[in-house]
Chains A and B, each alone.
Chain A
Amino acid sequence: MDPFGNFINGTVTLFSDPLGILIFFGGVVGGMLFGAIPGVSMLTLAAILLPFTAHLSAEHGIMLFSVIYCTGVYGGAITAILFNIPGAPENAPTAFDGYPMTRNGQAGKAVGAAVMCSAIGGTVSAVIMMAATAPIANWAISAFGPPEIFALVFFGLAVAATVGARTLWKGWLSILLGLMIAVVGMDPVGGIERYDFDMPYLLAGIHFIPTILGFFAVSEIFVQAERKATGVYEAPKLSVNFPSVAELIAHKFAVVRSIVIGFFCGILPGIGATLAAFMGYNEAVRWSKDRKAFGTGKMEGVISSETANNAATGAAMIPLLALGLPGGALTAMMVGVFQMHDMEPGPLVFLNSPDLVWVVFAAMFFANLSILLVGFLETKTIINLLRIPFQFLAPLILLLATVGAYAVRGLVIDVVVMFIAGVAGFFLRRSGYSVAGIVLGLILGKIGEQTFAQAMQMLHFEWTGFFNRPIAALLIVAALLTVAGSIYSAFFRKDRQ
């Protein structure tokens, strides 16, 4: 049967089963809620539910996880926008401009843009997933090895210096600080212990979730507390004005670009939505005529990040279902759900369980659409949280952030790291450095270091080998041109001044 006919069959199967409908909507709401609360991400919900899926049918179990994945990635955008607390790492770039929009009295527009673009990104990605899962999966793993992924990360980092810093040099220093933090702990290839200062906990490295919570949420509390203490604090203006259709249409290129980027990152095994969000944001900056406006409350930043991370969800299902290769932690847990039902994701699933595959595809499609409905309803109420006075809101945010940092691994050191990052972020922001750049350096640095080391092993430690691989060469040249261009424009502007 053709994909459309299969999709209709999957839809009918999904919505003709009362238990299926219940699980579907439970997943939609649960994913959004757990995604929105820092520390208890969609992964927490998935880990809690994993043993219970043994009592569900395979269709229901896999469908539940795929729905949680779609809506959980969106859910984290809300707290990122309203309180500068990304619910998950893939929502961190959303905070770069989403939170400044809230401070500027545009919370409704920011959340509305996140709702719309999460739904669009996820839905388009689900459609592509349905149309061509197997060929895309095979192409991705053939065309993209460690050299190409490193080049992609390098390409992303090249533009990151222009995000949120007062000068280009401070932008680069911010990124370098993030890269330095990324190398703490065992090196990802040889297992060599570095910068652990004889503290076993540091061997696991500095986890990026406590760092994000510190640099964003805690430092923001300090900034606002200082304003409160010095009498210049202004509560964010409450606004539930959603973006107009015209405003969204004006960003159509950003949406399309982010769908392509998000989808592309999602299909690479082990990469997933976090890189997608950062790359989507970075490309928005790269292609903008007004780069300096990013980080100050530009809606395109929210649109690019949220479109890309949701576009990665459907894409991440492609290597999982077609090849049995999970793209991230949640898709890895889905492997566990398959196994509980004596199944293995991979090519045989399409042959042995086509009904399951199409129910899951249909569920993901409608889960992304439901973000629109539930998201708008939720937004109208959740924005009212901004009415809470700062003296009550600040301790609540600190409490949530502390719980979130501890919940990552159950380690006190993660809470310590969060507060150190909070204090450091407070002073770095005052000095014109970019906490966004630091976080970019940290997250992309971990992926970049690993893939660089793997690439060098593959290329027999001859760096020129990157240029024998067309995709890697293209990305590296583009990255170098970007760096050169930004340095040139920094000097050029200086000369003119």
Chain B
Amino acid sequence: MIKTKTLLMSVGSVVAAMTLSAGTAFAGCATDGMPGSMDRPGGFPERALGMVVPYGPAGGSGQVAQAMAQAVTELTGVAINRDHKPGGSGTVGMTAYLATPANGYTVLEHIDDASSAHALDSGRPNPAEDLIPLVISQITFSQIYIRASEDRYTDWDSFVAWVKAQDGKATIANVSKEGSMERINMKYLTDSTGMKIQQISFDKGAPRYGALAGGQVDALFEQPGDVRKFLDSGTFKPILTLLHSRPGAFADVPSLTDAGFDFEPLLRFRGFYVHKDAPADRVEWLQWAFQKAFCEKSYQDFNESKYMNLIESFRDSDGARELITATIAQYRDVYKQLGMEVK
């Protein structure tokens, strides 16, 4: 119990540290201090690397995998072949990855779904212990969106009041899977406000965004980078940021603190991993390559285009382990509160 509390405090401090930075421009990049080159251990890698991506090429994971692969190649000259194995909320890709040789030639892209899967079933791999995190290169927060033209409610307070008046008939588009980051954050919100809202699960982005744009649902739970085009075009507008301070790009949107909530929101994060049994010298080279590639211009431009620069998106291996471990503990805690069976 003490351990869980400690970890929850750790999540809190992680988020707090990020929110303190939110809205400020980062003067330098996280790995600017690392050496610009590194000797290849024993000639490794002598051929192209492989990257297992447990999601399709067009989604958030596919895009970050493509951007990171490009950045690593620009930095090292080593090509990376991406192998997309979608399905089962990342389970298929993880299983396929674990079946590859632990020689450092194949890396894995994965998101926080791997952490929540382990939190629910400890038989599933723990990304912090069963794998070695090379880098976490995207960390982002969620927001609640409504149509910009909506006149039934125009801000968070009026939205909550309107939802309560609907007596459970109001709807919000969300991502599928019980126990997911989205579901847990929504539970925090509904518990904190006392509102009842029907969550409609859409596993693909386009139908989810179309549902809000077309008026099929009343609101949308999403991360800002995924809906940036709708924000830039004035189709959607955020009414709540699930952070405790306001990121600069959303200075006029209330934060959790502004709305009077004290829960620690779960974050979306994407990173890159390698087998824990891979040779240490190769792991060290991969850590350098992926962490240094984070600061390549092409990757930084990519992250900026996805609003991934509003809070610090970088975690090295130790930072990644800390974030993953804290996140798993937080998920477990909530699962138990929800009465879900935690194995």
Output the least CB separation between A98 and chain B (Å): 29
- Interface flags for B65-94 (1: CB within 8 Å of A; 0: not) read 010001000000000000111111101101
A454 to B207, CA, bound (A): 11
**What are the residues of chain B within 8 A of A122 when measuring CB–CB?**
none
Q: Which of A138, A200, A410 contacts B91 (CB 8 A)?
A: A200
Known A-B contacts A191-B180, A336-B63; the reply to A329 vs B91 at CB < 8 A is no
Number of residues from A at the complex interface, CB < 8 A: 53
**Interface residues in B223-239 (C-beta closer than 8 Å to A):** 228-230, 232-233, 235
- Asked whether, in the complex, the Cβ of A325 is within 8 Å of the Cβ of B96, the reply is no
**Interface residues in B199-233 (C-beta closer than 8 Å to A):** 199-204, 206-207, 209-211, 213-217, 228-230, 232-233
- Interface flags for A96-120 (1: CB within 8 Å of B; 0: not) read 0000000000000000000000000
A269 within 8 A of B: yes
A193 to B177, CA, bound (A): 10
Quick one: closest B residue to A329, CB to CB?
Answer: B58
Quick one: closest B residue to A339, CB to CB?
Answer: B305
B101 within 8 A of A: no
B56 within 8 A of A: yes
- Interface flags for A142-161 (1: CB within 8 Å of B; 0: not) read 11111000000000000000
B171 within 8 A of A: yes
**What are the residues of chain A within 8 A of B63 when measuring CB–CB?**
336, 339
**Interface residues in B106-148 (C-beta closer than 8 Å to A):** none
B45 within 8 A of A: no
- Asked whether, in the complex, the Cβ of A188 is within 8 Å of the Cβ of B214, the reply is no
**What are the residues of chain B within 8 A of A411 when measuring CB–CB?**
85, 92, 96
A480 within 8 A of B: no
- Interface flags for A197-222 (1: CB within 8 Å of B; 0: not) read 00011011100000000000000000
Known A-B contacts A192-B178, A409-B84; the reply to A204 vs B198 at CB < 8 A is no
**Interface residues in A306-327 (C-beta closer than 8 Å to B):** 319, 323-327
- Asked whether, in the complex, the Cβ of A142 is within 8 Å of the Cβ of B203, the reply is no
Known A-B contacts A145-B216, A323-B210, A326-B206; the reply to A410 vs B95 at CB < 8 A is no
**What are the residues of chain B within 8 A of A270 when measuring CB–CB?**
204, 206-207, 210
A386 within 8 A of B: no
A344 to B169, CA, bound (A): 33
A368 to B66, CA, bound (A): 31
**What are the residues of chain A within 8 A of B228 when measuring CB–CB?**
344
- Asked whether, in the complex, the Cβ of A329 is within 8 Å of the Cβ of B177, the reply is no
Known A-B contacts A203-B92, A346-B235; the reply to A269 vs B206 at CB < 8 A is yes
A332 within 8 A of B: yes
B23 within 8 A of A: no
- Asked whether, in the complex, the Cβ of B203 is within 8 Å of the Cβ of A188, the reply is yes
- Asked whether, in the complex, the Cβ of A201 is within 8 Å of the Cβ of B92, the reply is yes
A173 to B102, CA, bound (A): 46
- Asked whether, in the complex, the Cβ of B232 is within 8 Å of the Cβ of A191, the reply is no
- Asked whether, in the complex, the Cβ of B58 is within 8 Å of the Cβ of A326, the reply is yes
**What are the residues of chain A within 8 A of B88 when measuring CB–CB?**
185-186, 193, 200, 203-204
- Asked whether, in the complex, the Cβ of B85 is within 8 Å of the Cβ of A186, the reply is no
A457 to B207, CA, bound (A): 15
A428 within 8 A of B: no
Output the least CB separation between B316 and chain A (Å): 27
Quick one: closest B residue to A196, CB to CB?
Answer: B88
25 residue pairs from A and B, CB less than 8 Å apart: A141-B214, A141-B216, A143-B214, A145-B211, A185-B87, A201-B95, A203-B87, A204-B86, A204-B87, A270-B207, A319-B210, A325-B206, A329-B56, A332-B59, A335-B58, A336-B66, A346-B230, A346-B233, A409-B87, A409-B92, A410-B83, A453-B201, A454-B201, A458-B171, A460-B169
Contacts beyond the supplied A200-B94, A336-B63, A345-B229: 19 A-B pairs with Cβ under 8 Å: A143-B214, A145-B216, A185-B87, A189-B201, A189-B203, A190-B176, A191-B89, A192-B178, A200-B88, A204-B87, A204-B91, A319-B206, A324-B230, A336-B58, A347-B233, A347-B235, A409-B85, A409-B92, A454-B201
- A interface residues, Cβ below 8 angstroms from B: 47, 50-51, 138, 140-146, 185-186, 188-193, 200-201, 203-205, 269-270, 319, 323-327, 329, 332-333, 335-336, 339, 342, 344-348, 409-411, 450, 453-454, 457-458, 460
- B interface residues, Cβ below 8 angstroms from A: 56-59, 63, 66, 70, 83-89, 91-92, 94-96, 168-169, 171, 176-180, 198-204, 206-207, 209-211, 213-217, 228-230, 232-233, 235, 305
